[in-house]
Amino acid sequence: MTSLDKRPDAAIDRAAARTHLPAYDDDAPPPVPRASLGRMTPDELFVRAGSWFAAFGLAWVTTQRLLPMTGIPWFLISWFVLGIVVTAVATAATGTWIDVKDRVAASIITGCALFVGSALVAVVVYVAVKGYKPVLNLNFVTDDMAGVGPKDPFDQGGIRHAIVGSLIEIGIAVAITLPLGVGTAVFMTEVGGRYARVVRTLVEAMTALPSIVAGLFVYTVYILALGRPPSGLAAALALSVMMLPIIARASDVVLRVVPGGLREASLALGASRWRTVWHVVLPTARPGLATALILGVARGIGETSPVLLTSGAADFTKLNPLEGAMNSLPLFIFGNVRSGNDVAIQRAYGAALVLLMLVLVLFVIARLLARPRRTTARRSRKADS
């Protein structure tokens, strides 16, 4: 209680210019502290969720009953638009213009994010639904298309040649790009200098290289100028040209965030520079480097255009990348879709499903490798405190 409260009322009336302090109302309910400051109040929750329920009904009535716009797409579009309108109106009834803007922005942003997420899910589900039939037969992954016509049923033939071809090509590409890419990244971050900046600028610029141009480059140099036939090696070279800047740039980013203190500690203990890089910098950055590699591989394994120009397509399993045509998964899909034959297209979907699974598996591996180890996390927490 301050001294102001003890004054008689008359004194307060006279001093009109003073700040008016509200007196405590004895009949008022006791103040209830909010349970959670972060969570929405029931009121707010009702306005937000209720608006979308209202919009759902409105959209159904307008598109399916009033306007000639039947069909799911129009319904979804009008649900989104009406949802925003209803949210705005409902918020304006109780809130201010600022509240309206806040809620409308939140609705639009959440709606767009949901749309993008459902697009990704739709792609995966669509490929799975269309392509599960050929994959159900085991021979789809254990057999190749040698002597099998495009219209033959699914219990004959398979895509072993494409899977093996993809793996061989990507294996060669990784064997070329991993040492070169990581070596370049080490040069750019650990050696440095003006020349390293030139290399970095060029590598960053070359990530723009359209993949078809990489394929065209290898096609003209390796196949036309050197006179070699299209082969798995040529495809691997084309993929390498495309993946090299990607891996070098990603590794560069990873190496740059290795704490300088670790390097300095190693050097202060008397280690030479290359030992510092080999024993301190690279092991620290290992999860990040693994992610960089897997992202590059995921790009490379699905890229069709360089392979289309350089490898040719064979129907049989081929293990020698040096000579003769070699098929790969993206090329198999592209060729079969282009053929226009129903059975072939279904096979293409099956191959697409296998390719998607392959990318997914690679991705899970990347995430597992990139996850910081629990022991190191605990140690660093102890160091922080």
Partner 1 sequence: MTTTLSDLDRPQPDGADITARAISRRNTGADAVFAHATRAIGTSVLVVTGGVGLFLGYQAIPTFKRYGLSFFTEQQWSPDTDTIGIAAVLVGTFQVALVAMVIAFPLALATALYISEYAPARLKPTLVSMVDLMAAVPSVIYGLFVALLIMPYAADLSIWFDRNLGWLPIFEVPGGQADAPIPALSQYFFSAFVAGIAVSMMVLPMACAVMRQVFSQTPPGEKEAALALGASTWGMIRTVVLPFGRGGIIGGTMLALGRALGETIAVALIISPSFEIKWSLTEQGGSTISSLIANRFGTASPSQLSALLAAGLVLFLITLVINTLAATVVNRSRSGAETD
Q: Which of residues 211-270 bind partner 1 (CB under 8 A)?
A: 211-214, 216-217, 219-221, 224, 241, 244-245, 248
| Residue 281 binds to partner 1 (criterion: CB under 8 A) | no
**Which parts of 269-384 fold into alpha helices (H)?**
273-276, 282-284, 286-302, 305-310, 329-339, 342-370, 374-384
Residue 147 Cβ vs partner 1, minimum distance, rounded to whole Å: 25
> Considering only residues 338-377, where is the footprint of partner 1 by CB under 8 A?
338, 348-349, 352, 355-356, 359-360, 362-363, 367
> Considering only residues 144-173, where is the footprint of partner 1 by CB under 8 A?
none
Nearest to 241 by CA among 323, 176, 327, 289: 176
Number of residues that bind partner 1 (CB under 8 A): 90
Site for partner 1 (CB under 8 A): which residue of 120, 226, 268, 383? Answer: 120
Q: Give the whole-angstrom CA distance, residue 218 versus residue 240.
A: 10
| Residue 186 binds to partner 1 (criterion: CB under 8 A) | yes
Stretch that binds partner 1, among 5-13, 25-33, 147-155, 177-185 (CB under 8 A): 177-185
Number of neighbours of residue 344 by Cβ within 10 angstroms: 19
Is the CB of residue 229 less than 8 Å from the CB of residue 313?
Answer: no
| Residue 128 binds to partner 1 (criterion: CB under 8 A) | no
Sign, Cα dihedral of 166, 294, 334, 126: positive
DSSP 154: T
Site for partner 1 (CB under 8 A): which residue of 126, 142, 283, 377? Answer: 126
DSSP 33: -
> Considering only residues 44-83, where is the footprint of partner 1 by CB under 8 A?
71, 73
User: In terms of C-beta density within 10 A (0-12 exposed, 13-18 middle, 19 or more buried), how is residue 232 classed?
Assistant: buried
Q: Residue-wise over 35-65: b if at least 16 C-beta within 10 A, else e?
A: eeeeeeeeeeeebbeebbebbeebbeebbee
| Residue 285 binds to partner 1 (criterion: CB under 8 A) | no
Choose between 21 and 191: whose C-beta lies nearer to partner 1: 191
Choose between 99 and 156: whose C-beta lies nearer to partner 1: 99
Stretch that binds partner 1, among 3-11, 84-92, 153-161, 332-340 (CB under 8 A): 332-340
| Residue 301 binds to partner 1 (criterion: CB under 8 A) | yes
Residue 70 Cβ vs partner 1, minimum distance, rounded to whole Å: 11
Choose between 12 and 370: whose C-beta lies nearer to partner 1: 370
> Structure tokens of 45?
């929750």
Q: Give the whole-angstrom CA distance, residue 158 versus residue 141.
A: 6
The residue type found at 288 is G
Residue 145 Cβ vs partner 1, minimum distance, rounded to whole Å: 18
